[in-house]
């Protein structure tokens, strides 16, 4: 049953890719494809509500959709985002998660649902482990490296391609993006989001990797 469901799902994805290719040419974006982004070149983000307003669907399903970027209105500076801010203070300035009030905030705000405090602390200890492993390796692993069964770059750092080919963060993968920025990595793997209709030709460069 699982195999049949997966086959049906993959077939619909390939048909979606084919539709994009027929409409926009071979360079057209593919659903959940991997692109390579300079993390410190990202200046803005848009949230899921903005993607839903433009495409009519949730951001997790909007990967590879071609849009008119002039319709995008609610851009937010990436440096103003709380998760980016506390990651920088933790890894650059050496302040503890507790000192920064992150554990208390996550617990009270229910960002992780009903997770108990100890589970939230364990989550942030895992982030430290990911940071240290990435620093040692010198790059962020792809989703396929993390899980060989993963489809393309699904559940990766979500990055939209705006006017003039500028990368815009999509709100999925805050902590991984922060790791890439703090470590000043040249390129990080990302899952493609929505793409401006006049920026498709930039994808040729974003598909390149030095690894």
Render pLDDT for 49-71 as a digit per residue (tens, 0 to 9).
999 999 999 999 999 999 999 99
pTM: 0.93
Whole-angstrom distance, CA of residue 136 vs CA of residue 183: 10
Question: What pLDDT shows up at residue 5?
Answer: 76
Tens-place pLDDT, residues 81-111: 999 999 999 999 999 999 999 999 988 887 7
Range of the domain at 195: 31-206
- Residue 20 counted as domain residue: no
- Residue 16 counted as domain residue: no
- Residue 155 counted as domain residue: yes
- Residue 26 counted as domain residue: no
- Residue 46 counted as domain residue: yes
Those residues with Cβ within 8 angstroms of residue 19's Cβ, 6 or more apart along the chain or in another chain? none
Tens-place pLDDT, residues 13-29: 999 999 999 999 999 99
Domain count, the chain: 1
- Residue 138 counted as domain residue: yes
Question: What pLDDT shows up at residue 190?
Answer: 98
Question: What pLDDT shows up at residue 11?
Answer: 87
- Residue 18 counted as domain residue: no
Instruction: Determine the length of the chain.
Output: 211
Structure tokens belonging to residue 92 = 């650059």
Q: In which band, very low, low, confident or very high, does the pLDDT at 47 lie, cut at 50, 70 and 90?
A: very high
- Residue 66 counted as domain residue: yes
Question: What pLDDT shows up at residue 209?
Answer: 79
């Amino acid at each position: 049953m699982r195999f049949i469901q997966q086959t049906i799902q993959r077939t619909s994805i390939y048909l979606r890719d084919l539709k994009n290719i027929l409409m926009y040419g071979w360079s057209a974006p593919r659903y959940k494809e991997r692109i390579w982004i300079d993390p410190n070149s990202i200046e803005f983000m848009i949230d899921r509500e903005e993607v839903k307003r433009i495409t009519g669907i949730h951001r997790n399903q909007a990967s590879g959709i071609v849009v008119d970027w002039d319709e995008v209105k609610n851009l937010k500076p990436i440096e103003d985002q709380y998760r980016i801010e506390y990651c920088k203070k933790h890894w650059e300035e050496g302040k503890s998660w507790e000192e920064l009030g992150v554990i208390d905030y996550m617990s009270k705000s229910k960002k992780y649902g009903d997770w108990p405090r100890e589970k939230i602390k364990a989550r942030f200890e895992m982030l430290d482990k990911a940071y240290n492993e990435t620093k040692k390796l010198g790059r962020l692993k792809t989703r396929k490296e993390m899980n060989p069964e993963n489809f393309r770059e699904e559940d990766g750092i979500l990055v939209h391609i705006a006017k003039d080919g500028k990368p815009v963060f999509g709100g999925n993968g805050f902590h991984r993006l922060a790791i890439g920025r703090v470590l000043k990595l040249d390129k990080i793997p990302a899952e493609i989001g929505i793409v401006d209709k006049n920026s498709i030709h930039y994808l040729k460069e974003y598909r390149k990797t030095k690894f």
